[in-house]
């Protein structure tokens, strides 16, 4: 595709050869002639100038002599948006493959695609433009909105509801029973989970995630939230809009996350905790109490970043302190002798 056409699609100005053909998008470290890349920062400008790449997305004030440049205030974002034009996703063929299992009373929009070996139980609803890959299972009465992608071997339990433009990657389970038991006479008595999972619009769920259904109400994943691989969300959790939950995050039952919460890898939230808007929980950290204001928290129990850093610095100074005390004791003992 010509640079002039790409710039037009992005609604941005360009400088240089508008007829220059671009075949793919690559990072600056691997880009070569025929590729489109972006630069942001002096280090990457130098790399671009030293490379054979001819087409670059850059900020308005960046000088790149000899290059054809699309000018953008947000080069990386522009490159991401242009990816959809240079690397379009294969358009699925609408319809239900005869090898799929679609039970009675299902409502599948004619523009949806149901691949072979997908299973739709009775009463399932699938919206327009949605693609259901092989091996996916949608339980009785589940619903999936428009323009969703449900990848291979995903399980969506009975009654669970997904909004529009939701992506669920392979192997994830939405709507499994929560880990709820009563202790009675030395035995674990299972609590039936009669609720569901509600996934709002524009959510993306990574591979191998597990989201439990509510006990009586809903487990909710808020609009625009993004879940990495291997995230576990327990029953009755409410995740606010635009959360970012990274790999191996765990959120215990009935906790509530505010808007724009970020949880780094292997971090967690204890049960029945409320996490406020804009809170960032660092890697391997655990939020153990409610009421924290927006900010960055580390440790177990999680505490404000500065406080945690001071505590760690003191901890790693203990060895020096012990050695110093031992030296003082030896000196004192010699003086006494």
By annotation, the residues acting in catalysis are 235
SS3 readout for the chain:
CEHHHHHHHHCCCEECCCCCECCEECCCCCCCCCEEEECCCHHHHHHHHHCCCCEEEECCCCCCCCCEEEECCCHHHHHHHHHHHHCCCCCCCCEECCCCEECCCCEECCCCEECCCCEECCCCEECCCCEECCCCEECCCCEECCCCEECCCCEECCCCEECCCCEECCCCEEEECCCCEEEECCEEEECCCCCEEEECCCCEECCCCEEECCCCCEEEECCCCEECCCCEECCCCEECCCCEECCCCEECCCCEECCCCEECCCCEECCCCEECCCEEECCCCEECCCCCCCEEEECCCCEEHHHHHHHHHHHHCHHHHHHHHHHHHHHHHHHHC
Residue indicated by tokens 């008595």: 189
Q: How far is CA 149 from CA 82, 133, 138, 189, in A?
A: 21, 8, 13, 37
Q: Sign of the C-alpha dihedral, residues 312, 318, 324, 325? A: positive
State the CB neighbour count (10 A cutoff) for residue 280.
Answer: 18
């Amino acid at each position: 595709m010509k640079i002039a056409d790409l710039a037009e699609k992005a609604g941005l100005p360009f400088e240089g050869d508008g007829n220059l053909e671009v075949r793919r998008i690559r990072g600056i470290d691997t880009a070569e002639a025929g590729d489109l890349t972006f630069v942001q920062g002096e280090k990457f400008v130098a790399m671009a100038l030293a490379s054979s790449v001819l087409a670059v997305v850059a900020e308005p004030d960046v000088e790149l002599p000899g290059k054809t440049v699309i000018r953008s205030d947000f080069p990386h974002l522009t490159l991401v948006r242009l990816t959809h034009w240079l690397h379009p996703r294969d358009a699925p063929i609408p319809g239900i493959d005869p090898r799929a299992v679609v039970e009675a009373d299902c409502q599948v929009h004619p523009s949806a695609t149901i691949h072979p070996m997908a299973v739709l139980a009775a009463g399932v609803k699938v919206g327009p433009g949605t693609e259901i890959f092989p091996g996916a299972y949608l339980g009785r009465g589940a619903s999936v909105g428009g323009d969703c992608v449900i990848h291979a071997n995903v399980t969506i339990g009975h009654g669970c509801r997904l909004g529009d433009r939701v992506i669920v990657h392979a192997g994830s389970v939405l709507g499994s029973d929560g880990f709820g038991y009563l202790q009675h006479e030395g035995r674990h008595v299972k609590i039936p989970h009669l609720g569901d999972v509600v996934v709002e619009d524009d959510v993306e769920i990574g591979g191998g995630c597990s989201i439990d259904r509510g006990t009586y109400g809903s487990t909710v994943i808020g609009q625009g939230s993004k879940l990495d691989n291997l995230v576990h969300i327990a029953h009755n959790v409410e995740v606010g809009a635009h959360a970012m939950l990274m790999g191996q995050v765990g959120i215990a039952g009935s906790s509530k996350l505010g808007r724009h919460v970020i949880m780094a890898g292997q971090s967690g939230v204890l049960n029945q905790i409320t996490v406020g808007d804009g809170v960032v929980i660092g890697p391997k950290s655990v939020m153990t109490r409610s009421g924290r204001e927006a900010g960055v928290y580390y440790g177990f129990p999680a505490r404000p970043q500065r406080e945690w850093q001071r505590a760690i610095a003191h901890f790693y100074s203990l060895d020096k302190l012990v050695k110093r005390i031992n030296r003082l004791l030896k000196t004192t003992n010699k003086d006494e002798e």
